[in-house]
Structure 1
Amino acid sequence: MGGVTSDNPPDPAALRPLLPSPVQELADDAFARRGLRLLLKRDDLIHPDLPGNKWRKLEPNLRAAAAAGRRTLLTFGGAYSNHLRATAAAGRLLGFATIGIVRGDELADRPLNPSLAQCAADGMRLRFVDRATYRRKAEPEVLAALVPEGCYVVPEGGSNAAAVHGCEVLGRELRGVADVVGVACGTGGTLAGLAAGLGPGQRAIGFPVLRGGFLGEEVLRLQREAFGGRRGEWVLDERFHAGGYARRTPELEAFAADFEARHGVPLERVYVAKMLLGLTTLAQEGAFTPGTTVAAVVTGSAP
């Protein structure tokens, strides 16, 4: 497909996403011993290039960009950002030009890692900025200097009000399916929408993959932006970030390898493995009453 025009706007539906995503029940001893059911919400199967919450958050932004007649998407991320890769893939598939603002100007002098190399292969123009500037990217004067005229700006992680509404559909798909829903959290947009979409008596647990304890306020901000206030029942469990984004521990690796061997489901380590370790630990701690159905949202694919 060529560039975006008002006569021929790209339609994300042309990518034929698998929606609603499948729900898979697993027989897992850690849950069964407590009288619990474990379900996987396989958002990783939505689309091979835009899996999981990346589809749910990007799709409404892609529609908004097309409706505004914008030809270029600009967004932000770190050196291993799944969001940058998904945005680059969306641009390739739907005919948008893409620009990625990458945290860390020192990276410009190094060979591209596989993640950024894939972004470049999909046509994304990469611009490396120093970490101090990156931290100030939301400030109007900094943003103005970074964003060429005519770009549609998608925030880091894709999390804005449009994305939250996209993730609200995830919650609706799980109404009547589970009592508790676990999801990994980076920028908070998926949890903000998921919790809003769940029905009465259901609750969401978010497992942040970054340290800092800041995410609760961010989820609230996103819900206020999208809905005018807090929506749904949700909490955060901050214990399973393994030291920070993309960090791993021997415990996490052992858990993920054992889970994969028992269930044949590859686990993406940055987000999904941490969330499943969190849910399993809570089950073993007796946090869920017998008879509870627990759903784990698989938000991304293992490489």
Structure 2
Amino acid sequence: MNAHTLSSLHPRLPSPLEPVEDERFTRHGVRLLLKRDDLIHPDLPGNKWRKLAPNLAAAAGRPVLTFGGAYSNHLRAVAAAGRLLGFPTTGVVRGDELAGRPLNPSLARCAADGMRLLFVDRATYRAKADPEVLAGILRDAAEDSFVVPEGGSNALAVRGCAELGRELRGHGVDVAAVACGTGGTLAGLAAGLGPGQRALGIPVLKGGFLGGEIRALQEAAFGGPAGTWSLDERFHFGGYARTDPALEGFAEDVEERHGLAVERVYVAKMLYGLVTLAQEGAFPPGTTIAAVITGRPEPDGPRPDHPEPG
């Protein structure tokens, strides 16, 4: 697989940068822009395209094996890419208790796109980075498979996400905000921004571990720290795919105000965090924020009892 093959999917790049009028920002002298990465490609939207494109180019048509939970958007994106570009895919799914059961809508879409699903017990899944465990998984799949990690975040993906930051240069953007799962998008975004710009990450999982993951990803991708970034870990709403009536009401309000379909797992929490920070005076008057819209709502997306940061 080469860049020409990937370009045949006609991604919308650079993705649109749209100004929005919202008094929750303008009253504080803050300008809000939406970076519409959700419009890059209908089957590979947002950071899924930016992370997967360099990995698929490196795979060069070999089978691709990756990992995810029962409602993983990442698995769905890899399966769709396999269908569109004609290469075999294997999805290693956390939870051997799911084997033999009817597939949920998310996994059914993966299977319909031609992905082979391997269900493994949770202990094996946790140890998937161990070389012996991974070798055993590959024996059950295709041993020449190109392995993409859970959530798609590796050095290749981080370098792909740096293009997101480069697209935000020259537009007067001071702060680029993005929701964080595995940290790969933020690691690349920060590296691609220009002088005087900074990246702000809103983690959607609780635990306080993400800073170390981002530093490790930048080390792998760039050999050390790159760009200016920070995290605000207050807006996870209890953990991955967790929500409450306040967040749901906020998302519905944004949809009514701006005609934007708000994805709940990532985007809603990021926008909620930005509104709160603006109210707290965290952004000096005159600040321009670009909020990265990394995905769109999925009717069969993650459920709170099946968390998956992918």
**Fold match by TM threshold 0.5:** yes
Provide the secondary structure at the position in 2 that maps to 1:141: helix
Q: 2: distance between equivalents of 1:10 and 1:97?
A: 19
Q: 2: distance between equivalents of 1:10 and 1:84?
A: 23
Return closer, same or farther for 1:112/1:24 CA change in 2, 3 Å cut-off.
Answer: same
Q: 2: distance between equivalents of 1:301 and 1:141?
A: 37
**In the alignment, structure 1 residue 223 sits paired with structure 2 residue 218:** yes
**Amino acid across the alignment from 1:268:** E
Q: 2: distance between equivalents of 1:155 and 1:102?
A: 12
Q: 1:10–1:95: 8 Å Cα contact kept in structure 2?
A: no
**Amino acid across the alignment from 1:151:** S
Cα RMSD over matched residues?
1.2
Please list the CA deviations of residues 75-102 of structure 1 after superposition, one character each: whole Å capped at 9, or x if unmatched.
0011111110000000000001100001
**In the alignment, structure 1 residue 118 sits paired with structure 2 residue 109:** yes
Q: 1:10–1:94: 8 Å Cα contact kept in structure 2?
A: no
Please list every run of 5 or more consecutive structure 1 residues that lacks an aligned counterpart in the other structure. Answer: none
Q: 1:245–1:270: 8 Å Cα contact kept in structure 2?
A: yes
Please list every run of 5 or more consecutive structure 2 residues that lacks an aligned counterpart in the other structure. Answer: 299-310
1:154 to 136, 148, 153: 148
Q: Which TM-score applies when normalising by structure 1?
A: 0.95
**Amino acid across the alignment from 2:160:** G
1:129 to 116, 120, 124: 120
**Amino acid across the alignment from 1:199:** G
Give identity over the alignment, percent: 73
User: Which residue number in structure 2 is paired with residue 279 of structure 1?
Assistant: 274
User: Which residue number in structure 1 is paired with residue 97 of structure 2?
Assistant: 106
**Amino acid across the alignment from 1:280:** V
**Amino acid across the alignment from 1:55:** W
**In the alignment, structure 1 residue 196 sits paired with structure 2 residue 191:** yes
Give aligned pairs, total. Answer: 294
Q: 2: distance between equivalents of 1:109 and 1:280?
A: 45
Q: State how 1:226-265 maps to structure 2 within 5 Å.
A: 226-265=221-260
Q: 1: distance between equivalents of 2:200 and 2:130?
A: 31
**Amino acid across the alignment from 2:119:** F
1:29 to 17, 23, 33: 23
Q: 1: distance between equivalents of 2:232 and 2:101?
A: 36
Q: State how 1:23-102 maps to structure 2 within 5 Å.
A: 23-66=17-60, 70=62, 72-102=63-93
Q: 1: distance between equivalents of 2:113 and 2:151?
A: 18
Quote the offset at 1:277 in angstroms: 0.7
**In the alignment, structure 1 residue 296 sits paired with structure 2 residue 280:** no
Moved runs in structure 1, 4+ residues, more than 6 A?
Answer: none
